[in-house]
């Protein structure tokens, strides 16, 4: 049995006990694989009950091999290498009319904003095209 991305979405109210029953019935009867990006410490909040979370964890880790994968996401590996991030000054620029006492150079006018949006969009499209070419 494989449970993928446990905790990625909120578990519906009332389903916590059902999930425990699935784990309890499968315990020592067959293999289980669970993937999650949540630490065990977060499972009490995930299930809304520390005792229930502890019982689930106990059954999952008994006889288990735990493989912890760290580092950047494989899905965005090529994407991150190709992105050119704007410099700090561009990130701090604001749009609109400055309030009293604000410096005008920290604000972008609508023409600059439109130009920046077009540049970002073309950069993303270029990255998407590169990834498509690399995959095919």
How large is the average pLDDT for residues 132-136?
Answer: 52
Question: Is residue 79 a contact partner of residue 69, using CB atoms and an 8 Å limit?
Answer: no
Beta bridge partners of 110: none
16-44 pLDDT tens trace:
999 999 999 999 999 999 999 899 999 99
State the pLDDT at residue 75.
72
Higher confidence at residue 49 or residue 129?
Answer: 49
**What would the mean pLDDT of 72-101 be, rounded to a whole number?**
58
pLDDT per residue over 56-85, tens digit each? 999 999 999 999 888 777 777 666 556 665
Query: pTM for this one?
Result: 0.55
Q: In the beta sheet, which residues pair with residue 90?
A: none
Widest distance between CA atoms in the chain: 70
């Amino acid at each position: 049995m494989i449970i993928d991305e446990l905790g990625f979405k909120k578990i519906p109210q009332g389903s916590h006990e059902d999930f425990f029953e699935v784990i309890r019935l499968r315990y020592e009867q067959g293999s289980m694989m669970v993937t999650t990006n949540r630490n065990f410490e977060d499972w009490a909040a995930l299930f809304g009950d520390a005792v229930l979370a502890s019982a689930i964890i106990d059954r999952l880790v008994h006889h288990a091999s735990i493989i912890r994968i760290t580092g950047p996401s494989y899905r965005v590996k090529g994407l991150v290498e190709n992105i050119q991030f704007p410099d700090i000054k561009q990130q701090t620029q604001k749009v609109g009319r400055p309030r009293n006492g604000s410096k005008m150079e920290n604000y972008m006018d609508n023409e600059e904003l439109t130009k920046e949006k077009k540049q970002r969009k073309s950069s993303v499209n270029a990255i998407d095209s590169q990834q498509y070419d690399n995959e095919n």
